[in-house]
Chain A
Amino acid sequence: MSEPVDLDAIQAELRERVRRKREAGVYGADLAAALAHPLPGGGPIAADIEGDPVASLAAAVESEVAYDPRSRKGALAPLITVARRTVIWLIRWYVHEIVARQDRVNAAALRALRVLAEREPVDLVARVSALERAAAREAVHENAVHLDYELFAERFGGLESQVRAQAGQFLTRFAGATRVLDIGSGRGTFLALAKENGIGAYGVDLDERLVARCAAAGLEAYRIDAEEHLRSLPDGALDGIFAVHFAEHVLPGRLLEILHECKRVLRPGAWCVMATPNPSTLTVGAHTFWLDPTHRKPLPPEAFRFYLQVSGFEPVEVETYNPSEDRLAEDGLAGAALENARLLNRTLFGDRDYAVIGRKPLA
């Protein structure tokens, strides 16, 4: 048994031999001419037509067409030849119309290709790729994608006990409900509370780790985009929607689309509760709101209420909560000084969050 053949090595060796012989001038012009010698007796065969396709098209459009009607079939040949010539003569006008149109099509196609060929090259693929890369980079920068969000949430997200107490105040709206959706369910604080209170609730969140954490705690949560999920639900499928610190993460137009879907998928009489930082407290609007790089735009309570109203919720209530810890002292003040201190406290040190609470009308 011989050695297996290394075909790649053989091919490389062959190319090397040809290169050496070319360099040494072994071939000479006459051999090169022989290797490229055209097939006599007509045009090149299809497989050999290479090079500029526009030029080949021009050559094809301009080439002469010949058909020899003479038959070579023995004694019958003259008869067949006459028959062929007769048929060709009879259909000449019919064929002429078709050929004339084809000529126009060919000439127009050739002109169009020449125009296209002379245009400045626009490398659309390269330009689109550059834009895509720029957009991706922009998104990374804008959302601080490489920030350790888990660590960030731990440092700035507030105490679990506090978050729990804040969520708890809205539970009465969902008493007896069996299918409440928590948009942006996060660590599952609301889901756990609902479960403890006999309310059927499930969550959606984009963070895989948080969804896994909920599942591990026996809570129902899915990793899916909230809007996509809402669109997949039939009318009246839910009997409550809860979304804390979600609205400030989406752009206003998208929020309106989501609210429209919320109204559609709620059963009549059910509540939609959405909470967000309260920018009318200036220490929030000017400072703490901006701690989170993924926040889009502060949403004043009047605007959010209006969004719910135009989305078809009625009535819509606004409840503020989570008071500031620092306040101007009002003790011992009276008259104008007290009024001023109160105004400053409301404006600077008011409640840090608020919720809009809208009901889908019964009819």
Chain B
Amino acid sequence: MTGAIHQFHPVLAAHDATSDHLFAIRDLARSWGRPAEAFAIEAKPEVAAEVLPYRRLFRMLTADDQLLMHFGLGNDAYDRLATVEAKLALVYHNITPPEFFDGLNPHAALHARKGRAQLRRLAKRVPLAIGVSEYNRRELEAAGFARTAVVPILVDWRRYDVAPDERVLARWRGPATTILFVGRIAPNKRQDELIRLLAYVRRVVDPAARLLLVGGYRDQPQYRARLRALVAELDLGAAVHFTGGVSDAELVACYAVADVFVSLSEHEGFGMPILEAFRFGVPVVARAAGAVAETAGGAAILLDGKDLAVAGEAVGLLRERASLREALVAAGTARVVDFSRERVAARLREVLLP
């Protein structure tokens, strides 16, 4: 068995979780001696040199080859690819439930609905579906896939071995409590709740506390506009900072200045930033939604209700009790090992080449 392991995602870009995962699998497959290429309909300029046009797949694939289709949003190309003569597998990055976008972003809601319908359709044609978490795997099973498996995201941890951006360090270093959240600005991630949480923390814990919201907002302009209005109405002004998309060096710097990572997200298919926080020794407080509890693996303070006061008290407790902070950081550091490249690579090999 020496077939190729090719992969497809409609759009490939730099600094994008799905693209990073896809390229990491490609490098791994090459290390197994397999031909491996990335295919896309649209390749952003930064990665264009490494990506082939997806139409070539129809000519290139043979029955011996595997095609891993990364799926996070509906696209007609998947239906066409599902007819090719090759061993098909789906890697599911989860689709945000459309209800989160209703009344806010009709485009996103429409695409989420289409994506979920397409997933059920693909279940009939694609024999293997891989979830990046058990939470995702259960959704795949419910969609009707015959064979499902869990393989976590293959993280290229070397990406984080860069010097932190000096400008970010200079601006945010200081005694004030810095709360960090990393993730696209999106209604399911509940950045609005983080802003309300900041109001609590500034009143009860530390009047100088600040909130750093790291993540792109190009996809959700409506939600971001409303977040800005919320910041203004709660009179939080400069205490909330939207960084937009960041470079690796800036991201590393954000983790370096953070006192606590807080996630109030209500839907996470995996929760990669939680692992990043562990990697950088930042204690984590997170609402136990979607795959969060599974990814955190007991190394984060989990919140099971919606009471923001409890989240606020968690921030306060971490600030005053060094022993708790240290214990959580140690547990987080240990947890990261479970997602080491070697372990995930071995698991992926088991699933793809049984």
Contacts and interface: CB of A to CB of B under 8 A. Distances in A.
B310 interface: yes
A102 to B, nearest CB: 16
Contacts of B214: none
Given A27-B309, A37-B196, A46 B203 contact: no
A34 B199 contact: yes
Interface string B201-212: 001100000000
A35 interface: yes
Contacts of B330: 1-2
A18 B301 contact: no
Contacts of A1: 330
Contacts of B222: 42
A21 B226 CA distance: 31
Interface string A21-56: 110001100010011110111110111000000000
B235 to A, nearest CB: 9
B103 A42 contact: yes
A215 B103 CA distance: 71
Contacts of B324: 5, 10
B192 A39 contact: yes
B303 to A, nearest CB: 8
B188 A40 contact: no
Given A13-B317, A47-B266, A2 B327 contact: yes
A289 to B, nearest CB: 58
B326 A2 contact: yes
Contacts of B234: 34, 37
B103 A45 contact: yes
A17 interface: yes
Interface residues of A, number: 30
B99 A40 contact: no
Nearest to A31: B203
Q: Which size class do B's interface residues fall under?
A: 35 or more
A154 interface: no
Contact of A5 (B100, B190, B233, B331): B331
B284 to A, nearest CB: 11
Given A43-B103, A45-B100, A46-B100, A7 B192 contact: no
A27 B303 CA distance: 20
Given A14-B310, A34-B199, 11 more contacts: A2-B330, A3-B327, A7-B302, A15-B310, A21-B313, A27-B204, A40-B226, A41-B226, A43-B103, A46-B100, A47-B190
Interface of B: 99-104, 187-188, 190, 192, 196, 199-200, 203-204, 222, 225-227, 229-230, 233-234, 266, 298-299, 301-304, 307-310, 313-314, 316-317, 323-324, 326-328, 330-331
Interface of A: 1-5, 7, 10-11, 13-15, 17-18, 21-22, 26-27, 31, 34-37, 39-43, 45-47
29 contacts: A3-B323, A4-B327, A4-B331, A5-B328, A7-B301, A7-B302, A10-B324, A11-B310, A14-B301, A14-B313, A14-B317, A17-B313, A17-B317, A18-B313, A21-B204, A26-B204, A27-B204, A34-B234, A35-B200, A37-B230, A37-B234, A39-B192, A39-B226, A39-B229, A39-B230, A40-B230, A45-B100, A45-B103, A46-B187
Ordered nearest first, which 5 A-B pairs have the shortest CB separation?
A40-B229, A46-B99, A34-B199, A41-B226, A2-B327
